[in-house]
Amino acid sequence: MARLSGKAAIITGGAGGIGAATGEVFASEGAKVALVDIDAGALAEVAAHIRKQVPSAQVLEIARDVGREASAAAIVKETLDAFGRLDILVNNAGIRSYEPLDEAKAETWQKILSVNLLSYAYLAREALPALRQSGKGAMVNISSTHAYNPRAGMGQYDVAKAGIISLTKTLAFEEAERGVRVNAVCPGLTLTPFHVRRFAATGKTEHDLRTEKVDHNIQRRWADPKEVAWPILWLASDEASFMTASVIMADGGTRV
């Protein structure tokens, strides 16, 4: 069954691990997908992969910086121009910074908040008219387990992820009577290309990471990005019609 047949979706951070996996899963379930990312080259590679895996896929590539407020309206317009509708928004874009808060610079705060939090707010604002018109509009915001379990050294990132939870619930309360559901997913340890590249510098291969035992969660392993994409799919689908203002932990049982 194509759970998203006839629907159109925007997915930000579409050239990365979770965003790319979500794009492929959505396309396989019948959605028309607008993938958004600042990296045009990586975006083209992901779109080509999806078209190869799902020959019927309709994929729109939108290379824009979601950290710029003006991008939000342009992204929605390009999607509506291409697909004629918008039913689903997946806010997934994110960047990282490794700075303890007593050293955190204003420019780093601005970068992190503009991409990891404000882009979600701006895209929500611009997408809501079309989501309301859909009649069964759904928004899924990607936060993190670290919204609840912050760490030393990544305070800016974790603060933004906590903000996403509040944003999600507020939007859900505001939009319930207009027929738009808003939920969040908190991924745990997920083996994205970012982490593969990061650990390659230490001599670890992707195979090493996929097979090693970790202490981060009770399943003692990394998640594949598709294991996060599946709960995103469910929340975006009509099967989750009674779900709003909810947060799903896709984390393998993260240890506190």
143 is catalytic: yes
Asked if 163 and 117 count as a contact pair (C-beta separation under 8 A), the reply is yes
3-state secondary structure 61-128: EEECCCCCHHHHHHHHHHHHHHHCCCCEEEECCCCCCCECHHHCCHHHHHHHHHHHHHHHHHHHHHHH
Query: Which residue among the candidates 161, 169, 237, 246 is catalytic per the annotation?
Result: 161
Query: Which residue among the candidates 97, 120, 144, 157 is catalytic per the annotation?
Result: 157
Of residues 125, 118, 143, 149, the one with CA closest to residue 76: 125
Cα(196)–Cα(235) distance, rounded to whole angstroms? 28
SS3 assignment, position 41:
helix
Number of H helices, E strands in the chain: 9, 7
Cα(144)–Cα(161) distance, rounded to whole angstroms? 6
What separation in angstroms does the CA of 220 have from each of 11, 116, 209, 237, 255?
29, 27, 11, 30, 10
Of residues 187, 251, 185, the one with CA closest to residue 220: 251
Query: Which residue among the candidates 114, 143, 144, 237 is catalytic per the annotation?
Result: 143
Cα(7)–Cα(85) distance, rounded to whole angstroms? 8
Give the residue numbers annotated as catalytic, written as ranges.
143, 157, 161
